[in-house]
């Protein structure tokens, strides 16, 4: 058994409560925290923004990539480019414009699809469902599946390697908070599913230990006529997420957790009212995420805490340095210039350091780390 060292203490000029009523002579609050906002914390009050650096040297820096400029098209998810990865998580982006000629099956872990663009039909062991932009689709490890796009589809593929996706504990707010599990849709054994059960040759591409095997059939192996149990492909759309809110207190990203694996979490930022209390912080607080690497994929809207970030881009903030809102966003928050957010973004916080693929260097905005400079 382990227990965090805990010794609540106050020193110097501080606010009585975190993220609210900051002292005017030190309005820049920085949170140092452990276990990704779930562990002990300390809050520092600075005279200058802790992100007002003038120069970066070395590989540890905030990075931004424009995934719109990558070649993402292929007929198999296993051909999708691996962009970020560690032993517990793989992050890919894939564009599928035509019906998959073979079924896919992941033997390495659960797969999470986030549909960035397009719509289509998903056929899998459990039946058929239509999927569209904004959908999360959790595909349990070992499930056979394929897509028939109705229009070209661009999606994230986030693999929980040797792991599974589960729902977060919601504690005091109850199991229906954020989204009611009743909103999770499952595939149907419907007419469209039964109609695809043909006697044509089909193959299944199975990925295991990042190696592909192909199994051939003289018929469609998606030939179930029914199933029962509590394991299935499930779908939830960001439009069905009802975020936790507090008009008097800026909630940490962990309050927006959608799915959890053993070594990382998936959070979803969706439109919500901005805090209205005069003393409440109205933008994400400066923080050291000292135990997690942070990745954010920007899906749609106006990303209020970042400058020059558009849909289809991704930012990567490795563990080890302080980050937070850009200067313009911080000032806009102080002036309560916006009354609501208008953004949809997917965040991945990983407990283990992520490797960046060589593929990403061609689409990196090298000036991103300078966008916090004090002279800007």
| Residue 159: both structure tokens together | 């693999």
Q: Are strands 127-132 and 109-124 parallel, antiparallel or unpaired?
A: antiparallel
CA distance 132 to 267: 19
293 annotated as belonging to a binding site for a ligand: yes
Distance CA 36, CA 347 (A): 13
C-alpha distances out from residue 155 to 56, 68, 113, 288, 317, Å:
33, 12, 6, 30, 22
Residues 6+ apart with CB under 8 A from 165: 110, 112, 138, 259, 260, 261, 266
Closest CA to 62 of 251, 265, 296: 296
Burial call 295-309: b when 16+ CB within 10 Å, e when fewer = bbbbbbeebbbbeeb
Neighbours of 2 (CB within 10 A): 3
Nearest to 288 by CA among 258, 322, 315, 314: 322
CA distance 161 to 108: 6
Active site residues: 250
Joined tokens for residue 193: 């599913």
Phi/psi of residue 116, nearest 5 degrees: -85, -40
Question: What Cα–Cα distance (Å) separates residue 369 from each residue in 71, 142, 185, 187?
Answer: 25, 40, 40, 43
Token pair in block for residue 67: 């995934």
CA distance 143 to 124: 7
In this structure, are strands 313-317 and 63-66 parallel, antiparallel, or unpaired? Answer: antiparallel
In order of 21, 30, 336, the CA distances from 280 in angstroms are 6, 15, 10
Known binding positions for Fe cation: 287, 293, 323
Known binding positions: 287, 293, 323
Known binding positions for homogentisate: 323
């Amino acid at each position: 058994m382990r227990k965090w060292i805990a010794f609540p203490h106050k020193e110097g000029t501080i606010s009585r409560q975190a993220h609210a009523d900051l002292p005017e002579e030190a309005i820049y609050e920085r949170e140092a925290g452990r276990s990704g906002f779930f562990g002990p914390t300390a809050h520092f009050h600075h005279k200058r923004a802790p992100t007002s650096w003038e120069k970066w040297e070395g590989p540890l820096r905030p990075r931004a990539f424009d995934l719109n400029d990558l070649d993402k098209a292929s007929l198999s998810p296993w051909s999708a480019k691996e962009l970020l990865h560690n032993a517990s998580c793989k992050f890919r982006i894939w564009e599928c414009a035509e019906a998959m000629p073979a079924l896919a099956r992941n033997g390495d872990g659960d797969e999470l699809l986030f549909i960035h663009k397009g719509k289509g039909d998903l056929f899998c062991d459990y039946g058929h469902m239509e999927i569209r932009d904004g959908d999360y689709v959790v595909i349990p490890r070992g499930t056979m599946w394929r897509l028939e796009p109705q229009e070209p589809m661009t999606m994230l593929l986030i693999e929980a390697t040797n792991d599974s996706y589960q729902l977060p504990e919601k504690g005091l707010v109850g199991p229906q908070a954020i989204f009611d599990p009743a909103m999770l849709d499952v595939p149907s054994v419907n007419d469209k599913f039964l109609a695809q059960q043909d006697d044509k040759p089909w193959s299944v591409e199975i990925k295991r230990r990042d190696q592909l095997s192909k199994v051939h059939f003289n018929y469609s192996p998606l030939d179930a006529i029914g199933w029962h149990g509590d394991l299935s492909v499930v779908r939830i759309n960001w439009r069905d997420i009802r975020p936790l809110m507090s008009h008097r207190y800026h909630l940490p990203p962990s309050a927006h957790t959608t799915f959890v694996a053993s070594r990382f979490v998936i959070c979803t930022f969706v439109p919500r009212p901005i805090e209205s209390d005069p003393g409440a912080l109205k933008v994400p607080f400066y923080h050291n995420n000292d135990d997690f690497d942070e990745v954010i994929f920007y899906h749609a809207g106006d990303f209020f805490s970042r400058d020059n970030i558009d849909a289809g881009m991704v930012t990567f903030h490795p563990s080890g340095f302080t980050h937070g809102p850009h200067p313009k966003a911080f000032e806009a928050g102080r002036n309560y210039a916006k009354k609501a957010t208008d953004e949809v973004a997917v965040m991945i916080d990983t407990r283990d350091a992520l490797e960046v693929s060589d593929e990403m260097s061609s689409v990196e905005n090298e000036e991103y780390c300078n966008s916090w400079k004090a002279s800007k």
